[in-house]
Structure 1
Amino acid sequence: MLSEQAIPVVRATLPAVGGALDQITERFYSRLFAAHPELLRDLFNRGNQANGEQRKALAGSIAAFAVALLDNPDSRPDAMLSRIAHKHASLGVTSAQYKVVHEHLFAAIVEVLGEAVTPEVARSWDEVYWLMANALIAVEARLYRETGVPEGAVWRSMEIAERQEETVDTVSFLLRHADGAPTDAFLPGQYVSVQVTLPDGARQIRQYSLSSAPGRPQWRITVKRVDGDPAGEVSSWLHAHGRAGDTLDVSAPFGDLVLPEGDGPLLLASAGIGSTPMLAMLDHLAATGSTRPVAVAHADRSPASHAHAVELRRLVDALPQATLHLWYEEPGDSGAHAGRADVTSLDLPPGTTAYLCGPLPFLRTVRGDLLGAGTAAADIHYEVFGPDLWLGAED
């Protein structure tokens, strides 16, 4: 927790620091990449840097952590910290890198706020930073220990065993260890990072959910090509070049949006490619003969754009107490509902635990609808692909 000396200083300066965080983080990344260009080339997502989403996510996490320290001084925002730590571990982030971040972040704070950063203010916000950094370092150290690898050594060479075209812009890859070793265990809902070398020599990294159950001879990831400006560098490369027999650098599995044990009722709600962790959960439930009640809600543009649609129906049919609810913006004659997902129309039993995955507007809407219908905030969990611009929303 914050020291007694720091609490009033952080509380008094939070509006000024929070109001300037966008400028601070912009200046921070500029300084960081000037001093360490290899971090932009080989670690950070260049697309998220170009569109500003990573800057917003960093600012949001700092502000959310500071507010949590002030509002709940005897506890930590563990849900937020866990989500960040799992992402960091999947990238191979090391404890030494937090010192590099500290150097350039605090230089950026001084550059933006100037004389307002008195020694007392600097010491107080230094406390905030290291409370957050040390908490993340501790969680990441535990994740590395549990994975059985030294700090940051999460990468292994895997071979594409098979490529499967799912839709016009979505492809699945079955992955196996190049040396023939069994695939590692993981929890349903987790993801891996994939690193590829692009034409300019950059080694860019992206995360993809494991979209089938643990225990299979091969892992499966499902990759949607990201169009737009900027287009997805890694997804485009995998669509254009990933073929059976090729090797990829793949991380160990991480991620904290995982299927809970027990027999309580579940809601698995997804939109678009957000269905992939839900497929792994359903596949695991079917493989283990689960009889727990499961409501599956999925929204997509059209039947043709819905990756793994046939598989989803098959898995739901294999579960005796599962129901499937589909919404398509262009349903055609599919029998699905027209428009966007409406979970308020579902008859969810008391005590339902909800798992959400999809674009941020979808998450906001569905979470708000669930809260309005009486679902406890603690029973709603989410995964957002890309920088989490919603950090702290659960706390």
Structure 2
Amino acid sequence: MLSEQSAATVRATLPAVGAAIGEITERFYARLFDAHPDLLRNLFNRGNQASGAQKQALAGSIAAFATHLVDHTDQRPDQMLQRIAHKHASLGVVPEQYPVVHEHLFAAIAEVLGDAVTAEVAAAWTEVYWLMANALIAIEKRLYEESGGQGWQPWEVVERVEETADVVSFRVRPVGGGAVREFRAGQYVSVRVELADGARQIRQYSLSGAPGESLRQFSVKRVREEASGPEGEVSNRLHARVRVGDVLELSEAYGDLVLGDVAGRPLLLASAGIGVTPMVAMLAALAADGYEAPVTVVHGDRSPADHALRTDHALYADKLADASVHFFYERDAAPGARTGLVDLADVAVAEGTRAYLCGPLPFMRAVRTQLIGKGVAPADIHYEVFGPDLWLAQG
């Protein structure tokens, strides 16, 4: 992995780089988009750029990767790399883009740190960058091969379901027919949409239907303008404009939050808000497989009316041999549900449980803390963040 000489240099300079990483990423994106404005129009999420979320995520991933390398010189942080690679593959990132990123990232580092970036420092951090980049390129190559290398394909909308006031599910099939490739419960697809200004923006949406169906189903929550960020360009256009018969561009399915070989272990599927979508697909897969081990289903939402796919959520859980369901609503809780935020204090968690989390970051942090307190091993807690992964960026 990282050479001893570079590890020593990175270890010595990591505090300075870490302290300046926010400014470095700010300069990096400014340089990148000045030189390649098409990347902002057609690859990067303009909403996440405007809110600063993507800058935070990049800073967090660089710092986490470098820290891991100097602390564990013979290991790679493969879980983090897998998550990034799946996102890159869903966007269609290619190896030729990595030298472009390197050029502008290291120019930004030199601008911010000035004379502190000696030849030795530059060489050490270049080694860090290419260790990360080459690992991602290799993983992405494998993912493209596994997906059949189809790239973007046209899909026709055959059904549109208004799940809640802010969530719509679209059921789609390949234009011209053809087989629908299998996906793993918990994965997502990228959807590329042309906007009014001609930009072709890309967003990821979890596949919320059951694996093995002849159609694909993904669910979209409308992102409304809030103090924390702008209105969602793509989600609002999909809600307002896309109807049955329209054609959308979709990627193949990607994402590493999948059940895998659970080997009859107790499972806990915890979600909040639109984070319910991959959990419903997981429950559908478990029900279809006749899963017999205990499955604990936890979900939090504003109200039953805001709980997207609520009927399917409960129905698939009811098909399992040994499932317990715990729905929490901030208001209007129906009989059998609880009022308030998700709290696992009174939820039994079996020994050896493997947990899957999806929802807002504060929710997942709180649930993870409670699970660890109940004896669940940190390595058995898996999560999915919609949008930039800010878990590492926020410590």
Same fold, TM exceeding 0.5? yes
Say whether residues 1:77 and 2:77 are aligned partners.
yes
State which of 161, 184, 187 in structure 2 corresponds to 1:187.
Answer: 184
Cα deviation for residue 333 of structure 1 reads 3.8
Cα deviation for residue 345 of structure 1 reads 2.0
SS in 2 for 1:343: coil
Q: Which residue identity is paired with 1:54?
A: Q
SS in 2 for 1:350: coil
SS in 2 for 1:167: coil
Contact 1:80–1:392 (Cα < 8 Å) also in 2: no
- Superposed, 1:318-329 pairs within 5 Å as 318-329=319-330
Contact 1:2–1:69 (Cα < 8 Å) also in 2: yes
Q: C-alpha distance in 2, partners of 1:319/1:11? A: 50
Q: C-alpha distance in 1, partners of 2:394/2:101? A: 24
Contact 1:208–1:222 (Cα < 8 Å) also in 2: yes
Contact 1:358–1:383 (Cα < 8 Å) also in 2: yes
TM-score, structure 2 length as denominator?
Answer: 0.97
Unaligned runs of 5+ in 2: none
Q: C-alpha distance in 2, partners of 1:344/1:97? A: 47
TM-score, structure 1 length as denominator?
Answer: 0.97
Q: C-alpha distance in 2, partners of 1:252/1:266? A: 27
Stretches of 4+ aligned residues off by more than 2 angstroms: 331-335, 391-394
Of 195-204 and 315-324, more deviation after overlay is shown by 315-324
SS in 2 for 1:163: strand
CA-to-partner distance for each residue in 1:196-252, whole Å, 9 max, x for gaps? 000000000000000012110101001110001411111000000110000000000
Aligned residue number for residue 142 of structure 1: 142
Of 328-337 and 13-22, more deviation after overlay is shown by 328-337
Q: Which residue identity is paired with 1:172?
A: S
Aligned residue number for residue 31 of structure 2: 31
Contact 1:344–1:370 (Cα < 8 Å) also in 2: no
Cα deviation for residue 392 of structure 1 reads 8.3
Q: C-alpha distance in 1, partners of 2:259/2:78? A: 18
Q: Which residue identity is paired with 2:160?
A: R
Aligned residue number for residue 155 of structure 1: 152
- Superposed, 1:33-72 pairs within 5 Å as 33-72=33-72
Aligned residue number for residue 123 of structure 1: 123
State which of 164, 167, 175 in structure 2 corresponds to 1:170.
Answer: 167
Aligned Cα root-mean-square deviation (Å) = 1.3
Cα deviation for residue 292 of structure 1 reads 2.1
Q: Which residue identity is paired with 1:280?
A: A
Q: C-alpha distance in 1, partners of 2:289/2:87? A: 28
Q: C-alpha distance in 2, partners of 1:138/1:82? A: 11
Cα deviation for residue 131 of structure 1 reads 0.5
Unaligned runs of 5+ in 1: none
Q: C-alpha distance in 2, partners of 1:393/1:361? A: 11
Q: C-alpha distance in 2, partners of 1:148/1:171? A: 29
Of 112-121 and 333-342, more deviation after overlay is shown by 333-342
- Superposed, 1:168-247 pairs within 5 Å as 168-228=165-225, 229-247=229-247
SS in 1 for 2:144: helix
Say whether residues 1:316 and 2:310 are aligned partners.
no
Contact 2:190–2:203 (Cα < 8 Å) also in 1: yes
Aligned residue number for residue 276 of structure 2: 275
Q: C-alpha distance in 1, partners of 2:91/2:331? A: 37
Q: C-alpha distance in 2, partners of 1:350/1:20? A: 43
Aligned residue number for residue 104 of structure 2: 104
Aligned residue number for residue 94 of structure 1: 94
SS in 2 for 1:345: coil
SS in 2 for 1:5: helix
Q: C-alpha distance in 1, partners of 2:16/2:7? A: 15
Cα deviation for residue 334 of structure 1 reads 4.2
Aligned residue number for residue 364 of structure 2: 363
Contact 2:186–2:206 (Cα < 8 Å) also in 1: yes
Q: C-alpha distance in 1, partners of 2:194/2:82? A: 29
Contact 2:208–2:218 (Cα < 8 Å) also in 1: yes
CA-to-partner distance for each residue in 1:280-303, whole Å, 9 max, x for gaps? 011111122221210000000001
Aligned length: 391
SS in 1 for 2:4: coil
Contact 2:158–2:245 (Cα < 8 Å) also in 1: yes
Aligned residue number for residue 287 of structure 2: 286
SS in 1 for 2:163: strand
Aligned residue number for residue 251 of structure 1: 251
Contact 2:193–2:200 (Cα < 8 Å) also in 1: yes
Contact 1:331–1:337 (Cα < 8 Å) also in 2: no
SS in 2 for 1:263: coil
